[in-house]
Amino acid sequence: MLALIVVNYIVNWLETVSTPHLFYKIAYSLKNPCPVFSMRYIAHRGNLIGPCPDLENRPEYIMNALDLGFDCECDVWWHNDGWWLGHDAPQYPIGGEFLTHGGLWIHAKNIDALERLKRFVNLNYFWHDHDDYTITSLGFIWSYPGSRLTSETVCVMPELVNPPYKPEEKTRTWAICSDYIIHEKLEEIRRNT
């Protein structure tokens, strides 16, 4: 049910900001990744069109973003002998199998989670605080907002950067992680049409 609500909200929003022709290109590209779009798009805590604190890091919210074709960053804790999602504290219990979904960028929020994540094979996880860069377990470079970008970095939360990144700075990165990931995808579609 939540997925349907979120999708309807996105569709309604896109119809107000886009021409019908562009809207169909966006909808198609979300469901059918195209080689024209070389960049990875990561929904920060599951957000697609802006922060939504009541839904962020909920398992169904994250799955919705993954089902729409986006990668997703999620905040993971090991607490009371179990896995939890939540930004500032463990909020939503999950099973370990949840962490094995493809497309997750797992932000370990405590040392217990980081130690246990090492036991999984092929998970993409990391720990960071205010470091300019951190390397994920699969070798990706996660950049702090405002850090210099390269073709090897993930541009994280560009909406927080002031002065903003130039379009050519963002387009040369390997991926973008944002609360406004639909907007970032729209920008690429507009550049390529």
CA–CA distance, 136 with 150 (Å, rounded to integer): 16
pLDDT interval class at 5 (50, 70, 90): low
Q: Which two tokens stand for residue 160?
A: 């927080």
CA distances in angstroms from 1 to 8, 77, 150, 180, 182, listed in the order given: 11, 26, 39, 22, 21
Place of tokens 């962020």: 56
* CATH T-level topology, domain 2-191: TIM Barrel (3.20.20)
**Res 14: pLDDT:** 52
- When mean pLDDT is compared over 27-31, 148-152, 167-171, the highest value belongs to 148-152
- What letter represents residue 66's amino acid? L
* Residue 83 confidence (pLDDT) above 90: yes
Determine the average pLDDT of the residues in 88-101: 97
pLDDT of the residue at 7? 53
The model's pTM: 0.81
Q: Give kind and range of the element (H or E) at residue 85.
A: strand 82-85
Of 110, 85, 107, residue with least CA distance to 96: 85
Q: How confident is the model at residue 164 (pLDDT cuts 50, 70, 90)?
A: very high
**CA neighbours closer than 13 Å in the CB half-sphere of residue 74:** 37
Taking only Cα atoms into account, the Rg of the chain, rounded to an integer number of angstroms, comes to 16
Q: Is 75 exposed, middle or buried (0-12, 13-18, 19+ CB in 10 A)?
A: buried
Find out whether the peptide bond into 163 is cis, omega within 30 degrees of 0. Answer: yes
CA distances from 79 to 51, 60, 86, 116, 193 (A): 25, 20, 11, 11, 47
Mean pLDDT of the chain, nearest integer: 86
Q: Are strands 153-156 and 141-143 parallel, antiparallel or unpaired?
A: parallel
Dist CA 65 CA 137 (whole Å): 22
Q: Taking Cα atoms as reference points, which of 107, 105, 103 lies closest to residue 69?
A: 103
Bigger pLDDT: 121 or 125?
Answer: 125
> Residue 91 and residue 163: Cα distance in Å, rounded?
34
